[in-house]
Structures are given as C-alpha cells and as structure tokens.
Structure 1
Amino acid sequence: MSSGITLSSATRQNLLSLQDTASLTSTTQNRLATGLKVSSALDSPVNFFTAQSLSNRSADLGGLLDSISNGVQVIQAANQGITSIQKLIDSAKSTASQALSTQVSTTGTASTDFAGSASTVAFYVNGTAKSTTLLATDTIDSAITKLNTSAGSTMFSKDTSGKRIVLNAGADVEFKDTGSQTALGFATGGTGTTDKYGTGNSTVGQSGDLTVSGVDARKKLADQFNSLLTQITQLSKDASFNGVNLISNGDASNKLHIAFNEKDTSNLDVQGQDLTASGLKLNAITAGTSGTGNFLLDADIKTTLTSLSGASDTLRSASSTFGSNLSVVQNRQSFSKNLINVLDTGAANLTNADLNVEAANSQALTTRQSLGISALSLANQAQQSILQLLR
C-alpha cells in the first residue's frame, strides 16, 4: 500500500515556480525556433485566422500579378509592332515619292518622212485612248496640229528638216496598231498586240524609233512598294506574346482581358486592332483593269501617298491607345505589388515573434530557473535541519 509524500509549503511553491518557468522556457524556445508567436489557432484564434486571411489574399493577388505582367508584355509587343510598322510605312512613302519624282517620257524622231494619207491614228497617253483622223491632203503641220489636239498637249512636232515627225512627251505613249505608227513615219514595233491597258485596249510593240523611260523604273518601285505591304502584314501577325496579338485582328472578340483583383470586379479590356496592310487601307499596286497601274500615273501615286499618311495617323492613334492602356496596367501592377507587401506585413505583425524580445526572455528564464533551483535547495535545507535534531 502506497502512501503519499508530504512536501513542505515552501518546497511545493518552488516546484510550481520551476514548472511555470519550464513551460515559459519551452514557449520561448519554440518562438525562437519557428519565428512565430502564433503558429496555430490554439495560440490566438483571432490573430491566426486574420493572418491566414491576409496571406490568402496576398497569394491570390500574387497569382494575378503574373497575369498582369503578361498583359504588360502583350501591350509592349503591340507597341513594338506599331513602331516597326511605322518604319515600313516611312519606307513605303519614300518609295512612292521616288516613283513620283521619276519622270516618264517618250521621245524619238520618225525614221521616214511624213507622207499624207487617209488614215486613223490611234494611240494611248498614259493608258488613255486617243485618236485622230488624217486626210490625204494633210500636210505635216496640219497633221501635227490634229495629233496635239487629240493628245491634249503639245507633244508632236517636226524635225529641223521639216519632213519628219518628232514625238517628245512627258508620258508613256503607245500606239494601238502598226498602221498608226507607219502613218506618222515611225518604224513598226511588231505585228503582235497585247491588251496592255485592259481588255480591248490593245497595243503593238513600241517602235524602234522611240525611247520610253521611267515606266519600267516606276514598275519596279511599285513592286518594291507591294513587297513592303507584305512585310507590314507579316510583321503585324508576328507581334504576339504568349499567343496574344493585338494588332493583327480588329474583331470584337480579339481583346486582352486583365483582372486586377481576385473577384475580377476590377479589370481592363484592351481591344485589338487590325494594323495589317489591308487594315490600314493600303492596297497593292497592280496593272489594274484599266492597265494604268504600276505607278504609271502621278495621280495614282499621290493617292497612294495620301493613303500612307492616313495609315500613319491610324498607327499614331493606336499607339496612343495602347500607351494609355499600358500606363494603366503598369500602375495597377505597382499597386498590386505594394498591396501584397502590405498584406504580408500585416499578417507577419499578427503572427511573427519579436526575436529580440524572445531572446531576452530566454536569458531571463534561464536566470529565473537557476534561482528557482537555488530556492528549492534552501527549502529542502530546512527539512534537513529537523533531521539533525532527530539524530
């Protein structure tokens, strides 16, 4: 049969103090080891769940921050595309201006003296059909007058001998048939005809007496212009980031959606635009149905230059829009980063331990424990004195 051991009041009190000290020491050591003063709901339910809520929102915003960062890159890719397209537009303007400054001319002197004959002379001036009827009684002077009247400008004259017709035109002059060439004394350019200026507007080969300049040069510049339009379209389609392209498609469905909070109640939709060549209303230069394409006409080149200026205005407007959107997204990106820092700091303030305080507590508890052991020893010495009396 066991019996209880009776401890003195002083001894029991010292033991309780040592137990309290040991408990506090354990708590302090745990805080020093984990860095947390609240590591579970048992430590402080209010602080623990509040900090958890703050940390969860911080994590949600951190996930959105990745999406916002992607949105910034998508808009920057679009802006970079616009900058590069503008350089191509400038090159296209230079090409068109060069074509406009390239003079088209047809010059030459007939190899045969003019001999009046009843005939119809049909020719084209820059693709526009002209014709005049010559009579057998026409002299070279009257024939030249009729030709210039039909042409609408003074381009026919006679050489110093007064017997041969001279053609000096600031335009591309083509004859419809060989009869029209020989009627004026020019050598024939071949018997075959082509619909050079559209269906039904056939011409024969150019006479060897005549020299045409500028037409081929303008055609090459037109081909160069078309190549630049192809590059504009290709570049706009390549200006994508992570599969999103804001400048190759202007459909309402082509937009970038960026959420700024975890409930998506704060967001921004960036609408895509069609900045391809067709979207900028830039048309390729071709021969066309009338055959007067390939930069042959100054009026067509000026129209092209006007369309290029309009394309530049469209690009500037798009750049301004995307720049404004980029500013908004970058501002929200900075705000989200700062808010995440605020949330994390708030959560830390509720749960993190002050290591300086805990270190000081640890030192104090060590001293307190030593003093408690000494006090327990002194309490036991009182009982040992009674034992000496019993001896």
Structure 2
Amino acid sequence: MSSLLTNSSAMTALQTLRSISSSLSTTQNRISTGQRVATASDNAAYWSIATSMRADNAALSAVSDSLGLSAATVDTQYTALNTVLGSDGNSGLTKLQSLLVEAKTAGIDRTKIQSEVTQIQQDMKNTASSATFNGVNWLSTTATTPATVNLVSSYSRVAATPTTNSIAVTVANYSLYTSTQTGFLDTVSGGASVDTINISALTDSTADQATLDGYIAQVTGAINSVSSAAANLGAIKNRISNNTDFVKSLMDSVTRGIGQLVDADMNAESTRLAALQTQQQLGVQALSIANQNSQSLLSLFR
C-alpha cells in the first residue's frame, strides 16, 4: 500500500542511517583519542580498572622518586665512610693506624707524628660533618637526628588494601660522631677517643708504650666498625638499586596492562572507518530513493 502520510521505506533507511552515524561517531572518537575506553560510559568495568591502575602507577612513580632520593643519601654516607676509612692507606683510619705503629719506634719524634695525626683527625671530622644530603647526615649526628630512618622501597595494592614497604636504617650503626660522644670515633676509651688521641708527650717508657698499644687497638677497632658500617650501607645501596629497577619495570608492565584494556586498535579502527563511511554514503542514497517514492504519488493525480 502506498501512503502519503507514512513512508515505511524512508523510515527504515533513516533508522539505518542513524545507526551508521552513531557507529561512525564512536569510531572517529576512538581514532582521535587513541582509546577504545575513554570514559566510564564506554565500558564501566574496564574504565574503573584502568583508573585504579593509573593511580597505582602514580604511587609507583612516587616510590621511584623516593628511591632516587634514598640512593643519593645512602651514596653520600657510603662515600664519606670510605673516605674516613682511607682504604688507600694514605689517609683516614688506615693512615692513622700506621702512624701509631710507627710511633712505637724507640727514639722517634712523636711530636712530628702527632702533627700528622691531628690533621687526619680534623680531616675525618670534616668529612663526617660534610656528608650531608638534603639536610640528612648519619655520620655526624645531633640530638635532633632520628634514631631510625625508613627509606620507602615499594608499593603494592591487593583489592582495596594498599601496602607500602620501607628499608629501616638504624642511624647509630653508622654514626662516627654524636652529640653525646657515643660514635665510632668520639667514644672515650682508656682516657681518649680516636678523635682526641695525642701522642706528642709519650716516651719510650713501658707505660707509654702500653698506652700506644691501647691507641692502636682502639683505632683497629674503629677500622673494623667503620668497615662493617660501610659494608652494610653497600648492601642497602644495592638493595635500593634493585628496587629501583624493579619499580621501573613494574610501572612499564602496568602501563602495558592499561593499554590492553583501553587502547584502540588503530588498524581495525581505520578499516572500520572506511567501511562506515561507505555505508553512510549508501544510507544517504537509500534514503534519497525512499523519499522519491512519495514524489511518484503525485503522478496519480495529474
């Protein structure tokens, strides 16, 4: 039946054209944004997961920055400890030990040796006080220095429960000088500390030789303590480096996971765009043909 008021063919063609235009709009939006799921209305579940994963990545980025700061702090303390240790034998505690052994020689001028000892003592103290990064110094501490420092090392989230882990550093294990004189180099033993050893007045007497032996033993003990502290810091340094590499790799994995959820396949979308554009042109043509059916009714009344 031909009707002037109801053109079923035109209505069908129009509905098809509307559907094609909607699909074309969706495809063009995916191509322009590069995302298959850009808003919650595109896919609520995937959008929610991707949003949470992006938040996790932001937290991991903060952990990575914190690890970089921690690495620089630990490296500063580690370098200073090695300098105080003087592993080359020409400075620091190793040189101080050799000077004290030399002072055991009968008839030697211990006043001149003391001048070198004093320079080494001052140099070690300056090194410790200079080992500061971002206001942090574990080698020369004061009453306000925290007893324990937590270095953020990782972040994870299981369901809705986030977990942040850290590396605990006990500052007393690395302190060379403290405000209470309990550090490796300023703890008084046998009437003097490594920092205050003075042999200028010592002689070849048996008592003074025993005093020298005590000083040598004291410096040897300090070498062992500082060596142990440096070894511990070296281990922490390696742990921070490993954690840094892992966090960066984890961030890349999370980013890839987000891409799998929300990124558009540009090859497929470009193919779909070409097909939809063709369908749109055909739809317009079909609607035009359907509209011409109404015009043919006029010929019946001529």
Give the structure-2-normalised TM-score. Answer: 0.79
Structure 1 counterpart of 2:186, one-letter code:
S
1:292 and 2:202 matched: yes
Q: How does 1:88-167 map to 2 (within 5 A)?
A: 88-101=92-105, 103-104=106-107
What stretches of structure 1 of length at least 5 have no aligned partner?
Answer: 105-213
Pick the structure with greater CA Rg: 1
**Residue 333 (structure 1) aligns with:** 244
Render the CA deviation track for 1:172-220: whole Å, top value 9, x for unaligned: xxxxxxxxxxxxxxxxxxxxxxxxxxxxxxxxxxxxxxxxxx4xx3202
Residue pair 1:219, 1:294 contacting (<8 A) in 2 also: no
Which amino acid in structure 2 is aligned with residue 61 of structure 1?
L
Deviation at 1:380, TM superposition (A): 3.6
Larger relative helix fraction: 2
Contact 2:111 2:199 (C-alpha < 8 Å) held by counterparts: no
Tell whether the 8 Å contact from 1:246 to 1:271 is kept in structure 2 after alignment.
no
Contact 1:285–1:293 (8 Å) recurs in 2: no
**In structure 1, what is the Cα distance between the partners aligned to 2:245 and 2:4?**
70
Q: Distance between the aligned counterparts of 2:203 and 2:198, measured in 1?
A: 5
Deviations 1:37-74 (A, max 9, x none): 22222222212222111111211221222112211111
Q: Secondary structure at the match of 1:41?
A: coil
User: Is the contact between residue 128 and residue 176 of structure 2 (CA under 8 Å) also seen in structure 1?
Assistant: yes
| Contact kept in structure 2, 1:71 and 1:256, CA below 8 Å | no
Q: Is 1:234 matched with 2:126?
A: yes
SS of equivalent to 1:65: helix
**How far apart are residue 223 of structure 1 and its match?**
2.2
Asked if structure 2 preserves the Cα contact closer than 8 Å seen for 1:75 and 1:246, the reply is no
Aligned to 2:168: 269
Residue correspondences, number:
274
Whole-Å separation in 1 of the counterparts to 2:56 and 2:4: 58
Q: Quote the RMSD (CA, aligned, Å).
A: 3.0
Structure 2 distance, partners of 1:30, 1:292, is 89
* Cα distance, 1:228 vs structure 2: 0.7
| Contact 1:21/1:369 (<8 A) preserved | yes
Aligned equivalent of 1:29:
28
Are 2:262 and 1:358 aligned?
no
Q: Deviation per CA, 1:76-129, whole angstroms, max 9, x where unpaired?
A: 11111111111111222333344344x41xxxxxxxxxxxxxxxxxxxxxxxxx
Q: Secondary structure at the match of 2:5?
A: coil
Cα displacement (A) at 1:33: 1.3
Secondary structure of the structure 1 residue equivalent to 2:42:
coil
Q: Secondary structure at the match of 1:245?
A: coil
- CA deviations on 1:303-325 (whole Å, 9 max, x unpaired) are 33332222221122111211222
In structure 2, the residue matched to 1:256 is: 149
What pairs up with 1:375-390 in 2 under 5 angstroms? 375-388=286-299, 390=301
> Which runs of structure 1 show a deviation greater than 6 angstroms over 4 or more consecutive aligned residues?
293-296
- Give the strand-richer structure, 1 or 2: 1
Alpha-carbon distance in 1 for matches of 2:278, 2:51? 36
Displacement of 1:385 in angstroms is 4.3
User: TM (normalized to structure 1)?
Assistant: 0.62
Residue identity matched to 2:121: L
Quick check: 2:76–2:131 contact (8 Å CA) kept in 1?
yes
